[in-house]
Structure 1
Amino acid sequence: SFYFEKMNSENRPVCLLCTECISVCKEYNLRRHFKTTHANFDTTFPLGSDARRHKICGLTSCYEQRRRTLFRACTEQERAMSASLRVAWILGKKKREFTDAETVKECMLASIEEVTDEKTQNSLIDSIKKIPLSDTSTIRRKETLALDICETLLDKLRKAELMSLAVDESTDNSNLAQLCLYVRFFDGEFFREDQLGLIHLVGQATGEVLFNTIVTFFGENQLDLERINMLVGGCETMDCVIAIINFIRCTSSLQLNAFKRKLTLFSADLCPGKILHFPTLRKSDLQITDVMTRFIDALKNTFATRFDHFSIPTEVMRFVNDPFCGGEFSSKAKELVMSLNEASLQLKLIDIRSSEDLQQSFQLAGSEKFWTHEVSHEKFSHSRSLVLFILTMFGSTYTCKSLFSHMKAIKTNNRESLSAQHLHHCMRIALTTYTPDFTALAKSKKFSFVCT
C-alpha cells in the first residue's frame, strides 16, 4: 500500500513515486517515507479509485522500462569489457605491445565492412566501437588479468602439499637485475609449472640478498616455506642458490646416470690401440688422446661435484615409475624424506603390490595418473607423499633460463621504458597455464559502468 518495488541487485525497496531507495525494508520505514514525502497522494488519488489504480499501473510500467533499459546498457558494457579483456589476453600471450590493441580494433572494423551486409553492418560496427582498446585501457586490462591469475596461483599454492622452487637471476634489456621464481606443484588435478614471481633487484645480487628476497616474497603472499621441496645437501648459505634447484626427476636422473657411465666408457676407450667409439679420431694423425682423456675425466668430476647432493636412489625412482616391481627401499626413502614413517611405508608397499585392482588401475592409467588419482590419499599417505616429493621436482633450471628469453622478447629495445611491474604482468600472462574467467571479471566490481 506504500508503492515500493524491490531492486534485484541489492534487494532494497525503491519508491515508485519518487524513485528514492530506502536503506531498510521494514514497514515502519516505508510508512514514514510515504507519509512524510507523499502526504498528498491519498488526497489526489483516493484509495480504491480508478485514477489511483491507473496511476500505480503507469508508475510500475515506467519503473520496469527504466530497469530494463539500465540492465541492457550494463549488459552491453559488460560484453564490451569482456571483449577488451580477451583482446588484451591474446596480445599478452603473443607478447605484443599495448598499442597493438588499437590496430586490432581497426582490423576488426575493416573486416566487418567487407564481409557483412548493410543490415547488420551498422550494429556490429557500433558494438566494436564500444570496446575500449586504447593503449591505456589495454594496460589496465593486463593488470587485471595478471592479478587475477596471480591470485589463482597463490590460492592453489597455499593448498598444495609440496612445491619445488626454481630460482635464477638475470638482467633485462635496460640492464636491470630481475629475480625469477618458478614453481612446480600438484594442484589436486595436475602437476603444474608456472611463474611465481619476477622481482626487480636493487644493488648487488648476492646469495644473501636472493635468500632474503625469497623469504620476504613468501611472507608477503602467505606461502609456507616449509612446503618447498629442496634437496639442499648440507648447503648452509645461499651461495649455491642456483645449483640447489637442479633437481633430478625420474627419467632425467636415469639419463644422467647413463651419461656418466658413457663418460667412463669413453675414457677407457681412449687408451692407445682402441678408440672404438671415435672413428674420426682413429683417422687423425694428431696425438690428442691424452688431452681428450683429461677433458672427459674433468667432465666426470664436474658432474660428480654438481650432482652428488641431488642423487636419488634408483630403487625409489623405479618405485615411482612402476610400484609393482623392485625390492625393498624404505630405509633409503626415509633418508630422502625424513617425515616418512618407515614401518608404515613397508606395510603399505606390501598392500599395494598385493592388490590386483591397483595393478589393473596402474596398467590403464599410467604412472603419474595412478599416483595422483587412483591411489587413496588416506590409505597410502606415506607412499603417495614420497611419490609427490619426487614428481614435484624440476628436471633442470632450463625453465628459468627460457623465461629470460621470453622476458627479452617482451622488453625489447623499443620498450625499454616498460616498468618492472608491467613487465611482470606481461610475463605472467604470456607464460601462465591458467585461463581467467573473462565474463566474471567483466561483471565484477573491478570496473564501473556508465549507462546513459
Structure 2
Amino acid sequence: IWETPETVLTFNPAWTYKYLFILPPHPNAKPMCLICIECIAVFKDYNVRRNHIEKHQTFHTNFPKGSQERVAKVQSLIPERATAASLRVSWILAKKKRPFTDSETVKDCMLAVVDEVINDDKIKTSVASAIKNVPLSDTSNIRRVEILAADVYETLLGDLMKADTMSIAVDESTDKTDTAQLCIYVRFFDSKCFREELLCLLPLEGHTTGNIVFGKISIFFKDNGLDMMHVCMLVTDGAPSMTGKVNGLAARWSTVAPQLISLHCIVHQAVLCAKLSGALKTTMDNVMAFIRSTSSLQHRLFCMLLSEMSAEHHDLLLPNDVKWLSKGKALERFSSKKKAETHLSRILDDNFMADACFLSDIFKHLNDLNLALQGRDKTAIDLVEQMCTFPVKLDLFATDLSIGRMLHFPPPRKCISSPAQITDVMTDFIARLKMNFAGRLDGLVLPTEVAIFVRDPFTVAIEGDLSARLCTNGPAMFWTDVNVHQFPNIKKVAIVMLSMFGSTCESSFSHMNSIISNSRCSLTDRTLHQCLRIALTSYEPKVTALVQNKKCHFSH
C-alpha cells in the first residue's frame, strides 16, 4: 500500500473471488495469484484482471463467476499457501539433516521474530495468525519428507529412463544401528547436464555375498523399470563380494550386460598400496599406540603442554583407532610436536622421528591423491589423469631421496640432519609403493587414449573459440554444448566417458551418520532412505504441483 498525490492504492478484497488474488499478511506485500503464486507490482483492477485472463483462461470456464464451485475452489486454494510453506520448511530441514521435531521449533522462532520486528499490532496479529496456520508438527514433517523424497525420486527415474547410458557406484557400510547399508549412486547425462544422484539405499540382512547383492539390485531395477543393460560402468569398493571372478557383483552383472566395464575404486587401491612392513610398520605402530593412549592423565598433561607452548594443535584429535585414510593427518600432527622432548622420550630418537616425518609426508601425498578423486563430478577421466601422473611423482620422490635434496619432503628435511639418515627403508618403500600401484592399476580396463581425447580434444588441432571454452568450462560443460548433429559419434563417446564414475568414495555415509544421531537411532530404513535422498539430491521439488494435486493435505 502506498500513497500518491491523487489517490491511495489498496488491495480490493473482491479480487480474491473475482481474479483469485490475495494480499499476503506481511509488510510491503504485493497481490499474489493463488494459482501460479506470482505477484504483481501495481494495485489496480486492470493489472490484476489482465494477469488472470492471460494466464488462467480455463479457470473461468471450469469455475464460472458466482458459482458455488468457484467459491469452494478459492477457499481450498487459500490454505494451500500454508501447505506450500510447510513443504518448504520440511525441505530445508531435511537438507540440513535436522530432526523432525525441529519443525515445531521453527514455528516458535518465526513467531518470536514477528513479535519483535513488527510494530503494527494489526499486521503483527495477521502475520502471527498465518504462521500458526502452517502445519509444522513433527508427524506432519515426517509425511512431508516422504512426499518430497518421492517427488524428487520420480523426477530422477524419469530422467534415467530417457538416458542412453549410466554409471553405477556401489559401496557398502554399516550405520550406527549396525545395519549393513548398500549405497548405490548413479551418474548420467540428462540432455542438459551431467547428474550424480543417490539411486537407492538397500539394507542388507544377514550375509552380503555377491549373489545376494546382485539379486537385490536386479529386483530394484526391475521394479522401477530400469534396464541393467544401460549401465556402462560399475565401480565398487573392492570387497570380495564385489570383485569375485564368479559370484562377485561385477561378474554377475557382466552376464546381463557384457559390455560393462567394472572398476575397483582407486581410492581404496591407493590406500592398499601403502601397506607397511619392517621398521616403518614399527614406527607407525608406536605412533598409533601413543595416540590411542588410554591414560586420561597423560592425555590431559599432553594437552596442557601444547596449550602452554602455543602449539598449532591443542590435541591430537584422534583418541581411537585410525583408518588408513586418516593416518597421514595423525602422523603430521605427531611429527609437529618435537618441542615436547622432555615429556616424550621417543621423540628424542632422531631415527624414529626421521621415519615418522617420512611417513607423514608419504601419507600426505596419498591423501592428496584420494581427495583429488573424491566428491561430486569426479569421473573416469580424472581417474586416468591421476593414473598417468602419480607414478611420475613417485619417480620424482625416489630421485629426491637418492640425491638427498628432500625438496618434496619438508617435514623430514627438518628432522633429518644428515644424508645418512635417509635409509634404504625409505627408498625401498617408495619403490614398493610404485610397484604395487602399477600392479593394481594394470588390471583397469579403461580406454586411456579416448579419455585423454575427451579431456582435451584439441591436442592435435586447436580451434581458438572452442579451445577457450574448454579451458573455461571444463570437459563436461564443453561436451554438453557440442552440437550433436555436427559431431554425433564423438559426442556420444564423450558422454559415455563423462558418465563414468572414477571413485565410490562419496559423502553418503557421513551424511547417514549425521542423520542417525544418538537421539534418532530409531529411524526406519525407509525413513533414513528418504532423509538421505533429500540431503544429497541436486533436484528441487515441485512444491506448487504437489500442493495443487492434493498430495500433502494433512490435518496437523
TM-score relative to the length of structure 2: 0.59
SS state at 2:458 partner: coil
Q: Check conservation: 1:163, 1:183, Cα contact below 8 A.
A: yes
Q: Report 1:4-83 matches (<5 A).
A: 64=66, 66-83=68-85
Query: Which segments of 5 or more consecutive residues in structure 1 lack a partner in the other structure?
Result: 1-61, 327-352
Query: Which segments of 5 or more consecutive residues in structure 2 lack a partner in the other structure?
Result: 1-63, 237-242, 251-261, 267-377
| 1:268–1:163 distance in 2 versus 1, CA, 3 Å | same
Q: Does 1:406 align with 2:408?
A: no
Q: Report 1:248-287 matches (<5 A).
A: 249-271=380-402, 278=409, 279=413, 283-284=417-418
**Is 301-310 or 95-104 further displaced after alignment?**
301-310
Q: Check conservation: 1:230, 1:244, Cα contact below 8 A.
A: no
Q: Which of 203, 213, 229 matches 2:216? A: 213
SS state at 2:208 partner: coil
| Distance across 2 between alignment mates of 1:105 and 1:374 | 48
Q: Does 1:381 align with 2:515?
A: no
Residue in 1 that maps onto 2:542: 437
Q: Which of 446, 452, 457 matches 1:323? A: 457
Counting matched residue pairs gives 360
Q: How far did residue 310 of structure 1 move?
A: 2.5
Q: Check conservation: 1:275, 1:282, Cα contact below 8 A.
A: no
Residue in 2 that maps onto 1:190: 193
Determine which structure has greater relative contact order: mean sequence separation of CA pairs < 8 Å that are 6+ residues apart, divided by chain length: 1
| Distance across 2 between alignment mates of 1:178 and 1:159 | 28
| Distance across 1 between alignment mates of 2:430 and 2:521 | 43
| 1:314–1:200 distance in 2 versus 1, CA, 3 Å | closer
Residue in 2 that maps onto 1:120: 123
Q: Report 1:278-357 matches (<5 A).
A: 278=409, 279=413, 283-284=417-418, 289-310=423-444, 312-326=446-460
| Distance across 2 between alignment mates of 1:365 and 1:283 | 47
Residue in 2 that maps onto 1:177: 180
Q: Which of 128, 134, 138 matches 1:135? A: 138
**Is 265-274 or 68-77 further displaced after alignment?**
265-274
TM-score relative to the length of structure 1: 0.71
Higher-Rg member (1/2): 1
Residue in 1 that maps onto 2:503: 396
Deviations 1:253-289 (A, max 9, x none): 2233211122234335544877675545752577662
Q: Which of 244, 250, 254 matches 2:264? A: 244
| Distance across 2 between alignment mates of 1:358 and 1:111 | 52
Q: Check conservation: 2:379, 2:498, Cα contact below 8 A.
A: no
Q: Does 1:368 align with 2:473?
A: no
Instruction: Give aligned-pair identity as a percent.
Output: 47
Q: Which of 148, 157, 169 matches 2:160? A: 157
Q: How far did residue 235 of structure 1 move?
A: 6.7
| 1:266–1:311 distance in 2 versus 1, CA, 3 Å | farther
Question: Root-mean-square deviation (CA), in Å?
Answer: 3.2
Q: How far did residue 223 of structure 1 move?
A: 1.0
SS state at 1:154 partner: helix
| Distance across 1 between alignment mates of 2:235 and 2:524 | 34
Residue in 2 that maps onto 1:10: none
Residue in 2 that maps onto 1:423: 528
Deviations 1:197-225 (A, max 9, x none): 11111112122222222222111111111
Letter in 1 for 2:117: V
| Distance across 1 between alignment mates of 2:464 and 2:420 | 62
| 1:245–1:74 distance in 2 versus 1, CA, 3 Å | farther
Q: Check conservation: 2:401, 2:422, Cα contact below 8 A.
A: no
| Distance across 2 between alignment mates of 1:243 and 1:274 | 38
